[in-house]
Structure 1
Amino acid sequence: MKKTRVVHLLIALLLALSLLPAAAPAQAQAAPAVPEGEFVPGELVIGFDASVKVVMGQATALAGSVDAQVVKVFDQTAVISFDPAADVTAVAARLAGQPGVRFVEPNYVRRLPEQLLTSAEPFQLKEVDRKLPNKQKLTVEELLSMRTVKRTGGKVQVIPTYPNDEFENWGNSWIGHDIIWPEKKMSPVVCVIDTGVDINHPDLKGRAINGYDFVNDDKIADDHYGHGTHVAGTIAAKANNGMGPAGISNGKVLAVKVLSDQGWGTSADIAAGIRYCANNKAVKVLNLSLGGSEGSAVEYDALHLAVNQGKFVAMAAGNASTSEMHYPAAFASPLSVPPVGSVDDGGANTIHEGMVSVGAIASEETWVDMDGNGIDDDGEYFEGCAAYFSNYGAWVEIVAPGEDIFSTIPVSYPSVLGQYMMGSDAAYLNGTSMATPHVAAAAARVWSLDKKLTNADVEGILMDSGRPVILAVDPNVVDPTVGSSDSGYLGEMPFCWPFADVPFTAAEDMENAVELDLAAAMGRGALTVFPYDAVTGLPLAGAQVAAVDAVTNKVMDIAAVEPPFYTFPAVDLINLPVGPYNARVKAKGYTAGWQPAAMDLFATPGVFESNSAEHFLVIPPAGDFQVVSQWDWWNFFDELDSYLWLPDATPFIVGPEKYDGIMYPNNPYSEVGAMWEFPFARYQRFDEEDLQTWEVLSIKRAGAKVKLPGDYQVLFTDNGDGTLLNQWIKVTAWFNGKVIGGVVRDFTADACDPLLTEAWWHAGTVNGKTFTAVDACGTDAIWPYIIP
């Protein structure tokens, strides 16, 4: 099981702290004792209503009444400190109900969700599914070899399609960042409320800026732990510099330190940090990868301010593998109850719109024993399941990659993670803390396209565009509230994601949760196409392929076909607004400028479309009259043979086989005119499966003159099979490198009923330099000349 692949960060911390040099602590903050309970002994947080005009004066008076002193004041909030041995509950009771006091509560301890550091062999992305023929996948090496054509300063450049660090974090491609990464519209600032950020990290310099340190009360939010820097890298690390990952957002992060260098903080400091970000006009998104088990009024009120200031807030759901609510993330759900004394005390949660709670997806497929028989049967392995540590339940709204996430850690000064990783500038970490910045960065990207969106709009877009989570459970689960800690399940996990099926209840039901899809949220899709030489069947090296908006006729992206070639000569056309597209091809020695190569392509939200025959761009060498026929690649075991028939004259053509009635001895028309079979270019490449489903006919010139006598009839047969002709077939006619006509057999049209019952189709007529389509859907009366 996956639990064996990680070590608790607590062990890592103990080891790292033991390795810190003696001088290192002097460069960081003094290390106070970490509270063992859920709140800081001897401290209370007091919230005042708007009638209190001088908070410091009122707080001082109240503190004096219980032999305490004021240690912090912000907005309508004060923190008082007294004897740590005193009964916090009793002191709070004495202060509650005093004039102007809205709430009194403990200063709750917030810790980083118990993250887990990956082992020495974390998951690394090696291939990406593009739904290719024969279930092939494209490797990262193939993806990094792809090329895109860009025009910069009047010059045409051929550059890599993807940054060299795009696939370092598998989460990027999982959420569709590889589709949208070239988008130049700038994302707004994301506030990282955490342990601070190493703003001088080479991968973050210029992308991360100091905000405030609420732990040490200064303006330098250094990160001597490492967690905040890791979060910041997922959001905003520089792309294409070969260091760490490529950040998901192209904007900046603002570092706000609310957690100590030991990875813990207080609800008061976190609330102060939230308010700081809420009041910053440049900030649109807040990232909170922290939390605890108790809801806090001071945090709720701070989030109330942030939401009402129009900020979007992403919060980690926690790493206890439980359905119990984790705060402040649970406040993103309308199922949560506003804390006593908060602005919504006694009423409904009014702040859940514009905030999301984030669960974590596992990096590899998971076995869920759905029939409970202890055997890993077919259909029981799923991708996109809960990471074994992730919290879950009806209150968790969106899930994102959170296991084996590769990102930046501090290098400018000593840090806990830096010491453990022995000076590395990046590390693999696990946690809902790592999932949350994927969502925060996605929100920033969505906002970059339309600055008029509200935070509720952004949440709606992320939720509506997300993929439904996979619902699957093991019936042997004993306690549905304890996740991977349960003793009953027999597979790798008690669920992929749970739903209300016994023994799970509505409290654990994830039916309404979605999986983050950034590209879909931005209304972007992509096309993967495969350019080939129609005669040789080899990759069309040197060609360029353009994605052209079928409505506006605008070129949206251009890819270059360059070696090395692997399984397929694939090129990606990316960051395409959703809608219909045509593909054009330009290749020296093949086309006379740009020529249409494919119609009816469609950029689907969040998807690399690649699994239709239209995505195979089959281009013949320039010269003479040529007809290329294509059919669906999944019929590679069947042959669709193409013929050229001249009933009334001797044609000036060259063909490898003259039709002489031997193949079809019962055909009464075999003695009429002359028929030649098309030469074809198809190669057995995968276990004798013919993956190149096309044929090519060339009508040669009569001497030096372009003279083609008579009307040549373009015919197709599936050799009596009767099924292949009832599939998609495309015919394209070329003359001297230009497309002059074509026809697609639309077997789905009403006019094509009933389907062909015989094995011939008359597609069109060739005469001179023209091609005329005859029949778009086939007919039983296939022969144009009837013999008495």
Structure 2
Amino acid sequence: MILAIYMEIIMAKASNTNRKPVIITFKPKDKRSTSKDKQEILASAIDDGDINFVTAETVSRQARPVASGEDLMKVGYDVNRYEAPILMANLTQAEIDKLKKDKNVVRVEEDGEMHALDGPDALAQTTPVGITQVKAPAAWPSSQGEGIKVFICDTGIDSDHPDLVANLRTGKSFVPTESSTEDFHGHGTHCAGTVAAVHNNIGVVGVAPYAYLYPVKVLSSTGSGQWSWLIAALDWIMSKKGARVASMSLGGGGAPQALGDMCEAAYDDGVLLVAAAGNSGPGNNTVGFPAKYPHVMAISAVDSADIIAGFSSRGPEVEVCAPGVSVLSTTRGGGYGTMSGTSMACPHVSGVAALAWGSHRSCTNKQVRWLLNTFVDKVGDQDPEKYGKGRVDANASSFWIGTPPEHTL
């Protein structure tokens, strides 16, 4: 599916406390009953202030001060790339009601929060057991993920970490108040190390030690962010030539349909989307967004004995599982430490995807997804709502010979 993205981050002055962030989806231009542009339709609903769109390159920069006489501070994002337009804005209830009545508007949804999905603290350990658990070292003679582009959608990555710097590439921040992709929280750095910490005889090694890491900041230093930031980030990832994997160790409930539309667009564009299932276990039907979408791989977490973690979300959306308890990886400030959560399971699968893609370079994302679903180890009680198809097997998926079929939804 092809979409059109229009992002508007509008930050109100202190006096404008009655505005709330929403995501507006318009009808495609050829389906609208008016010749007005989306920006004009939005402007007609605004009670005060102007709509000032700027280039896409400014979306990740720190918001500028409000100029004298301005009611609102606005940073626009207009890439004009897709046909189902989406726009984000801070609006009053009256403005929202006005837009909902416009027959050219499909829906107006609240822009809620998403969060990093790390679980309870874990005791320190000396080796990254998860790397051997998914059989990554056995796959390395076939592939070490050389040059496969993995986008870490998270809190950023420590740019000076000795186990990451060789694989780091230029990323982008979509957090309006944090222009740098530097990690001020630590979650993103930990996930990045699991994917591709360098094989350099220091610290730890990642699943795919020579994959390229792109920091995509969609969570702030608090570990939380807006859905609209992830929507904009996925659009940017699609613009990067050769983008292969988007690793999303984040999630939440009540995501807007606009996010589902963007996930579908990214998947159709060739990006493999991998997301943490969530830490809302042990209850049933607890998988969160974006993992809940059919175009996204939902990853549950197991411990070192391949038993489902108590915190791991369950549900029919779970596709495969991976280590997520007491996972040793890189930490901000050049260190190492352990964390638990489906956030830790997700990058194991992203790394295995990079290994499989490195061995099957002509494959599509749908073919790599088939490999990850097909070559698994059956673990635990094999309940698919806990373990999905099973725990990923990097060795089997990398060494398999032939042309894999495409995964079907």
Please state which band the TM-score falls in when normalised by the shorter chain.
0.7 to 0.9
Q: CA deviation at 1:104?
A: 0.8
Partner residue, 1:169: 128
Answer whether contact 1:187 1:249 (CA < 8 A) is retained. Answer: no
Tell me, yes or no, if structure 1 residue 47 matches structure 2 residue 25: yes
Answer whether contact 2:118 2:343 (CA < 8 A) is retained. Answer: no
User: Within 1, Cα distance between the matches of 2:49 and 2:41?
Assistant: 13
Tell me, yes or no, if structure 1 residue 189 matches structure 2 residue 149: yes
User: Within 2, Cα distance between the matches of 1:49 and 1:275?
Assistant: 19
Answer whether contact 2:255 2:290 (CA < 8 A) is retained. Answer: yes
User: Within 2, Cα distance between the matches of 1:329 and 1:63?
Assistant: 34
Tell me, yes or no, if structure 1 residue 295 matches structure 2 residue 255: yes
RCO higher in structure (CA 8 A, sep ≥6): 2
User: Within 1, Cα distance between the matches of 2:119 and 2:170?
Assistant: 25
Percent identity (aligned): 26
Secondary structure in structure 1 of the residue aligned to 2:131:
helix
User: Within 1, Cα distance between the matches of 2:91 and 2:301?
Assistant: 40
After TM superposition, the score normalised by the length of structure 2 is: 0.79
Q: Which moved more, 1:258-267 or 1:183-192?
A: 183-192
Change (3 A) 1:97 1:447: farther
Equivalent residues in 2 for 1:68-83, closer than 5 Å: 72-75=76-79, 76-82=85-91
Answer whether contact 1:66 1:91 (CA < 8 A) is retained. Answer: no
Q: CA deviation at 1:359?
A: 0.3
Which amino acid in 1 is paired with 2:87? A
User: Within 2, Cα distance between the matches of 1:187 and 1:99?
Assistant: 47
Partner residue, 1:58: 41
Larger radius of gyration: 1
Secondary structure in structure 1 of the residue aligned to 2:193:
helix
Q: Which has the higher strand share?
A: 1
Q: CA deviation at 1:514?
A: 1.6
CA deviations 1:328-366 (Å, max 9, x no partner) are: 10003xxxxxxxxxxxxxxxxxxx3xx310000112xxx
Question: Where does the alignment leave 5 or more consecutive residues of structure 1 unmatched?
Answer: 1-31, 33-39, 125-167, 333-351, 364-382, 412-423, 472-496, 500-508, 525-576, 579-788
Which amino acid in 2 is paired with 1:58? I
Q: CA deviation at 1:469?
A: 3.2
Equivalent residues in 2 for 1:299-318, closer than 5 Å: 299-318=259-278
Partner residue, 2:353: 443
Equivalent residues in 2 for 1:345-360, closer than 5 Å: 352=295, 355-360=296-301
Q: CA deviation at 1:113?
A: 1.9
Equivalent residues in 2 for 1:324-723, closer than 5 Å: 324-332=286-294, 352=295, 355-363=296-304, 383-411=305-333, 425-471=335-381, 498=383, 509-510=385-386, 512-523=388-399
Answer whether contact 2:196 2:208 (CA < 8 A) is retained. Answer: yes
After TM superposition, the score normalised by the length of structure 1 is: 0.42
Q: CA deviation at 1:100?
A: 2.9
Partner residue, 1:215: 175
Answer whether contact 2:234 2:262 (CA < 8 A) is retained. Answer: yes
**Aligned positions, number:** 352
User: Within 2, Cα distance between the matches of 1:225 and 1:287?
Assistant: 17
Q: CA deviation at 1:71?
A: 5.1
Answer whether contact 2:144 2:358 (CA < 8 A) is retained. Answer: no
RMSD between superposed Cα atoms in Å: 2.7
Secondary structure in structure 2 of the residue aligned to 1:56:
helix
Secondary structure in structure 2 of the residue aligned to 1:460:
helix
User: Within 1, Cα distance between the matches of 2:19 and 2:129?
Assistant: 42
Which amino acid in 2 is paired with 1:232? A
Q: CA deviation at 1:427?
A: 1.1
User: Within 2, Cα distance between the matches of 1:66 and 1:294?
Assistant: 30
Answer whether contact 1:43 1:81 (CA < 8 A) is retained. Answer: yes
Answer whether contact 1:316 1:432 (CA < 8 A) is retained. Answer: yes
Which amino acid in 2 is paired with 1:47? T
User: Within 2, Cα distance between the matches of 1:512 and 1:263?
Assistant: 27
Change (3 A) 1:511 1:217: closer
Q: CA deviation at 1:185?
A: 6.4
User: Within 2, Cα distance between the matches of 1:436 and 1:426?
Assistant: 18
Q: CA deviation at 1:42?
A: 1.4
Secondary structure in structure 1 of the residue aligned to 2:380:
coil
CA deviations 1:247-267 (Å, max 9, x no partner) are: 434211111101110010001
Answer whether contact 2:313 2:386 (CA < 8 A) is retained. Answer: no
CA deviations 1:665-711 (Å, max 9, x no partner) are: xxxxxxxxxxxxxxxxxxxxxxxxxxxxxxxxxxxxxxxxxxxxxxx
Which amino acid in 1 is paired with 2:297? V
Answer whether contact 2:195 2:351 (CA < 8 A) is retained. Answer: yes
Q: CA deviation at 1:58?
A: 3.0
Secondary structure in structure 1 of the residue aligned to 2:112:
strand
Answer whether contact 2:300 2:387 (CA < 8 A) is retained. Answer: no
Secondary structure in structure 1 of the residue aligned to 2:210:
coil
Which amino acid in 1 is paired with 2:116? L
Partner residue, 1:106: 110
User: Within 2, Cα distance between the matches of 1:385 and 1:470?
Assistant: 5
Q: Which has the higher helix share?
A: 2
Which amino acid in 2 is paired with 1:436? C
User: Within 2, Cα distance between the matches of 1:207 and 1:435?
Assistant: 20
User: Within 1, Cα distance between the matches of 2:27 and 2:47?
Assistant: 20
